[in-house]
Amino acid sequence: MSSGTPVYVTRSVLPSFEEYERHIEKLFESRCLTNHGELERQLTLEIRNYLEVPAITLAANGTLALQLAIRALALNGKKVITTPFTYVATVTSLLWEGCEPVFADIDDASCCIDPEKVAALADADPEIAGILPVHVYGNACDVRSLELIAEKHGLKILYDAAHAFGSELDGKSLFSFGDAAAGSFHATKLFHTIEGGCVASSPQIAETVRLLGAFGHLNDDYLLAGINAKMCELHAAMGLSLLPMVPDIIRSRKRICDIYDEELAPAFAACLRKPLLASGLSWNCAFYPVIADSAERLDRIIAALEKEDIHPRRYFGKSMTELPYLKGQSCPIAESLSRRVACLPLWADMPDALARRIAGIINSNLA
Ligand SMILES: *Cc1c(COP(=O)(O)O)cnc(C)c1O
C-alpha cells in the first residue's frame, strides 16, 4: 500500500517566501530586471567567496555555462575526451559547439572517468584538444592524474561540476580544479536559482565567458559572436536567498544518507554497493546512488518501490555511447553500470521515517 503522495528522487529546496520577497522587493523600485543587475552582481561575489575561486560568471543555465566555457577555452570544433557516464547535457554541449566527443570509459569503483583510459586516448590521437570530465554525484575525479595528462599533451581541462557545489577535495572546492569548471543551478540541484549556472575560472577566461554570454559586445564594440546566456534578477534573488542555507542543506542531506547507510546494511552485505568516494573528499551528498550486482536485481528493487509509489531515478540509465545520434564507440564499464544504478529519494527536509521505509522495502526485495 502506498501512503498518499508519490515520492520522487528529489524535491526542490525553497527559502521562506518572505526571504525571497525581501530580495525581489528592490526590483519593483529599480525596475532593473536583468543585464547584470544588482542582484546578479551580488550573487556573483557571494558564490565566488563561497567557492573560493578566482572568478565566477553566472549563466542562464548549466548547459549554456558548459558551452560558454568550451568556447572561452577555444575547444569549439575540436576533439574532446569526455565520460560516457553523465547527464546528456555534457555531451550535447560538446555537439552544439561543434566538438567531437571521444569517450574514455569510467573507473568502476568511483564512477568517474578513468585517467588510464584518458591517457591512452590522448597518447594515440594528437588531435585531442581537451578533456571534459564530470565530478559524478559530487564525487571528485582523479584531478591530479588528469592534470598530468593535460600537461603532457597541452590539453585544456573543463570540469562539468554540475553535481559538485559544496564538495571539497583536501579543503578546496571542486570548482577550483581545471582551466574552468561549469556548474548547474537547476531547481533539482542541491543549490539552485530555479534555472541557472556558472563558470568558475581565471579572471581572464571569465572576461571572455561574460562577453560571450552577453551577445559578444561591450557597448558599441562588437568583439565576438556571442549568445544571450545572462542570468536575470529573479533567478539571482533565489540564489541569494538559498546560498546562506547551503551548509544546513548539506548537513540535512548527510543525515538522510547516514540513515540509508545504516538501514541498508543488509542490502550492502548482500548485493548493493555505493560509488567509492575520493580520499580527501568532503562530500556534498548530492545524490544517494546504489549499484546492484545485476540489472535484474535492480529492476526488482525498482519495481518493488514503484508499487509503493516511490520513484528512484536511473541516474544515469544510459551510457552516452548508446545515444542514437552518437553511435560507433563503446565503453563496456559505463554500459554495464548504467543498467545497474539508481539514485534513491533524497532532499534536505526528507522525513527520516521515509528513508527508513524505503530502505525496508529494498531489504525485503533483494532475493
Ligand atoms: C544538471 C546537469 C547539467 C545541465 O545543467 P542545466 O542547468 O540543467 O542546464 C549538465 N551536466 C550534468 C552532469 C548535470 O547533472
The pLDDT tens digits of the residues spanning 244-258 come to 999 999 999 999 999
Dist. CA 322 → ligand 1 center (Å): 19
Dist. CA 184 → ligand 1 center (Å): 5
Q: Given a cut of 90, is residue 275 above it in pLDDT? A: yes
Q: Which atom of ligand 1 is nearest to the CA of 61?
A: 7
Q: What are phi and psi of 163, to 5 degrees?
A: -100, 0
pLDDT digits (tens, 9 = 90+) for 44-72: 999 999 999 999 999 999 999 999 999 99
Q: Which atom of ligand 1 is nearest to the CA of 63?
A: 9
To test ligand 1's pocket by mutation, which of 66, 87, 113, 185 has the most ligand atoms within 8 angstroms of CB?
A: 87
Q: What are phi and psi of 286, to 5 degrees?
A: -65, -30
Average pLDDT, the chain: 97
Dist. CA 221 → ligand 1 center (Å): 32
pLDDT digits (tens, 9 = 90+) for 130-159: 999 999 999 999 999 999 999 999 999 999
Give start and end residues of each alpha helix (H) in the chain. 17-25, 27-30, 38-51, 62-72, 88-96, 115-124, 143-153, 203-212, 233-242, 246-263, 265-270, 295-307, 332-338, 352-363
Dist. CA 163 → ligand 1 center (Å): 8
Q: What span, in angstroms and rounded, lies between the C-alpha atoms of 91 and 102? A: 10
Which is nearest to 267 in space by CA: 297, 303, 295? 297
Lining residues, ligand 1, CB within 6 Å: 61-63, 86-87, 89-90, 134, 160, 162-163, 184, 186, 197
Dist. CA 10 → ligand 1 center (Å): 15
Give the cell for residue 252. 540535512
Residue 322 gets which letter from DSSP? G
Q: Which atom of ligand 1 is nearest to the CA of 89?
A: 10
Dist. CA 274 → ligand 1 center (Å): 22
- Predicted local distance difference test score (pLDDT) of residue 1: 45
Q: Which atom of ligand 1 is nearest to the CA of 195?
A: 7
Q: Given a cut of 50, is residue 16 above it in pLDDT? A: yes
Q: Which atom of ligand 1 is nearest to the CA of 86?
A: 13
Q: What pTM was estimated for this model as a whole?
A: 0.98
- Predicted local distance difference test score (pLDDT) of residue 343: 98
Q: Which atom of ligand 1 is nearest to the CA of 134?
A: 13
Dist. CA 307 → ligand 1 center (Å): 29
